[in-house]
Structure 1
Amino acid sequence: MPDLRSDFPNPDLATCQSELTRQLALLGQHWPTFSEAELVELPGPGRWSRKEILGHLIDSATNNYRRFVLAQLAPPPLRLQPYDQEAWVRIGTYQHRSAAELLTLWTGLNQQILHLLARLPEALLDHECLTLNANPVTLHWLIADYVLHLEHHVRQIIHH
């Protein structure tokens, strides 16, 4: 299994796709082993439960899919729009969704991202985007960063 961190910030697109696929399978394997109590347990003040972490990953998939599409449509540089992660998780009330529904939604969103990445013209990987701090990055960098972020939180869910 490749360690994306060793290649960051620019693992090739195939490595990103492979790692994303691996993370989907990994969480798909572990998620059903947790009890409802384990999924909603809050590990401390201001910390998210496993369901809320997965909800955050759902929000992240939604926002990043949008970024990946806009980076292909908008003239460079694409100015990335922030989103309030805490508010999105709070409003999503993921604690009150069934575990199976959350996993299905997250998996489906990421399968759509994989579908998009499989058809992404290579020339667009260098499309410039401006981060929230106006730092220039490429679409390629955004994709790798998304996969690293997802990997971090999948590990967090499993080892909560």
Structure 2
Amino acid sequence: MQDISHRLRKLLGVLNSSIDTFSETELAYTPAPGQWSKKEILGHLIDSAANNHRRFVLSQLEPEPLLITPYDQDQWVILSRYQHTPAAELLQLLTLYNRQIVRLLENLPESAATQRCEFDNGYSVTLRWLAEDYVMHLEHHVYQIINLTSG
């Protein structure tokens, strides 16, 4: 899990060094109806961190397989009002939450990486796969934030 933790730390660095290049107006810009602003993407990443943190802990506490329940991503973003939250607060929360996830992943026993996790459609993965998928998801959105046009 050390490799996953390293990638996660690197992504946090990229995001933190890049976000200052955008104004609050640019971060709040919505590119099209039904699409998220950069701030809402940051919020979505906070929601993802919260859901995955829970999964990473529960996979070690509950009998196998851990059932991975989906969440309504759009409603989480709307209800959390990320569009109306200062971007600096979103970035700080996202960064701190992911630092905690890094600590969690770095201290997982190697045997935990093979814990089974099952999606509601029956698809079964390991905790390691879930952690890798989480980092890939974060990576996708970090580069989306950096490259998304701002009007």
Structure 2 residues not aligned, in runs of 5+: none
Count of residue correspondences: 148
1:95 maps to 2:76: no
1:135 aligns with 2:126: no
Decide which moves more: 125-134 or 149-158: 125-134
| Identity across matched positions, percent | 54
Name the counterpart of 2:96: 108
Deviations 1:101-156 (A, max 9, x none): 11000000000000101110100110001023210100000000000000000000
Distance 1:35 1:89 in 2: 21
Q: Which runs of 4+ in 1 moved over 6 A?
A: none
Q: How does 1:3-152 map onto structure 2 within 5 Å? A: 13-152=1-140
Give distance in 2, aligned partners of 1:98 and 1:45: 21
Deviations 1:7-60 (A, max 9, x none): xxxxxx222111100000000001111001110000111100000000000000
Compute the TM-score of the two structures, normalised by the length of structure 1: 0.91
Supply the distance in 1 between the matched residues of 2:131 and 2:9 (Cα, whole angstroms): 13
Tell me the TM-score normalized by structure 2. Answer: 0.96
Question: Does 2:147 match 1:159?
Answer: yes
Partner Cα separation in structure 2 for residue 119 and residue 53 of structure 1: 28
User: What letter is aligned with 2:123?
Assistant: N
Which residue number in structure 2 is paired with residue 9 of structure 1?
none
